[in-house]
Each structure stands twice: as structure tokens, then as C-alpha cells.
Amino acid sequence: MSLLVKICGITTPTAIDAAVAAGADMIGLVFFERSPRHVSMETARALAAHAAGRARIVALTVDADDVFLATLATDIRPDIIQFHGEETPARVAAIRSGLAIPVMKAVGVAEAADLAAIASYAEVSDLLLVDAKPPKTAAALPGGNGLTFDWRLVAGLDPGRPVMLSGGLHPGNVAEAVRLTRLAGVDVSSGVESTPGHKDPDRIRAFVAAARAAQGEGERE
């Protein structure tokens, strides 16, 4: 299976164009007001229309309520809803069933014990994302903190659902991450930015190229 590459935290049509031209499979729109990558529903509608048919649209939410999610499903029509908060497996299952939209659940990882949650989320999700667990500070965001974790913890992880890797990835380390973990995909946000919230087309191209090259090396081994 071809490696999935997601460019998250997209805020402009230019960033979408760069991601698509580079060969990314997914673009992520962030709906979390504390994030420098947050987009309003109005902006997201325009971005989704720009990306439609060119890349899969992932809507990242953090403990969103039913009203917001229903509006999101109707107005944006994402291909995938990503849950990046404290949503329980029951909550994920209920939303997935109610909205009939594929879902991805992010699981924060800092140590081996954190992997215990993966099995229950795998039962109710279409995809999973293993991300660096955010630091315990008031300013920390659920994701996009530019932090890595010990990738050996998830090397070869196979819970019966595709698993993507996130957390501190950038053009300089994504090849190593792909080769070591052998997961289904990689997800980058801050690692391809010039400043928080502003994607750099050159870094996007370099990231996707490095990820694809690493997968190709693995297939030839």
C-alpha cells in the first residue's frame, strides 16, 4: 500500500496547491481556536472547495460538541473527521455512526503504557494517529507542538486499522521515521512551516519527497 502523507494545519489555498503538487494524499483543516492553524467555518468552506477532488479533506476537532460536528459535516463535508481531544471510544463510535463519515482518532504517546488505549480506539475508528503526547503545561496544544517521541514504541504497530505517525516530523527526519516505524502514513504540521500557521511550499515538497523515497527504499529491501 502506498504511504499516506497528510499535510495538516492548512490555512490558505496556496498551501493546498503546494501539498497537492508535492503529492500529498490528505490536507488537514484545524478547528481549535487556541491553535495558530485554526480556521473559521467560512474559511474552511472555501479551502475545502479548493481541495475537493484533489486531496482527502481531514477536519481536525478537539472535544467538539454534537452541534458543531453536525455543522461541520454539512458545511465542509470532510472525507475524514479527526478527533484530537479526550474523546472516549464510545464517543468516537457514536459520532462515526451518527454522521456516517470515516473517523481518525489521535492517541498521544510518550511511553509504552500509552499504547494500551489503541486497541479500543481501533475498534471504532477507520484510521488511527499516534502523536507525541503534549507536555503538561497550560500553553500546550493537543498537537502541532513540534515534539517527537520514541518511534521504536510503535514500530510495526498493527491494530487492524491503518496507523499514521505524527509529532515533530520534518523534512530532515521523516525518512528515518518511515523506515523505522513502517506505519501506513505520516502527518506533518509545524515541521513544514516558516512561522506558526504559515506553510512553506519548499518544505512541503521536501517532506513529501523524503517520505516517498524512504518508502521506496523499504520496498526494495
pLDDT tens string 105-141: 999 999 999 999 999 999 999 999 999 987 665 445 5
pTM across the whole model: 0.93
Sign of CA dihedral 183, 189, 193, 199: positive
Backbone angles phi and psi of 78, in degrees to 5: -70, 155
| CATH code assigned at 166 | 3.20.20.70
Q: In total, how many domains does the chain have?
A: 1
Q: Which of 8, 25, 63, 75 is catalytic?
A: 8
The span from the CA of 151 to the CA of 180, in Å, is 7
Residue partners of 11: CB distance under 8 A and separation at least 6: 37, 39, 43, 47, 197, 198, 199
The span from the CA of 171 to the CA of 31, in Å, is 25
Dihedral of CA atoms 12, 15, 20, 23 in degrees, nearest 10, equals -150
User: pLDDT tens, position by position, for the chain (221 residues)?
Assistant: 799 999 999 999 999 999 999 999 999 999 999 999 999 999 999 999 999 999 999 999 999 999 999 999 999 999 999 999 999 999 999 999 999 999 999 999 999 999 999 999 999 999 999 999 876 654 455 655 567 899 999 999 999 999 999 999 999 999 999 999 999 999 999 999 999 999 999 999 999 999 999 987 755 45
Q: Which of 65, 66, 131, 158 is catalytic?
A: 131
Domain of residue 167 covers 4-220
8 is catalytic: yes
Q: SS in 3 state form for the chain?
A: CCCEEEECCCCCHHHHHHHHHHCCCEEEEEECCCCCCECCHHHHHHHHHHHCCCCEEEEEECCCCHHHHHHHHHHCCCCEEEECCCCCHHHHHHHHHHHCCCEEEEEEECCHHHHHHHHHHHCCCCEEEEEECCCCCCCCCCCCCCCCCCHHHHCCCCCCCCEEECCCCCCCCHHHHHHHHCCCEEEECHHHEEECCEECHHHHHHHHHHHHHHHHHHHHC
The three cell numbers of residue 74 are 454539512
Taking CA 164 as the corner, what is the angle to CA 21 and CA 108, rounded to the nearest 5 degrees? 130
- Whether the Cβ atoms of residue 129 and residue 82 lie closer than 8 Å to each other: yes
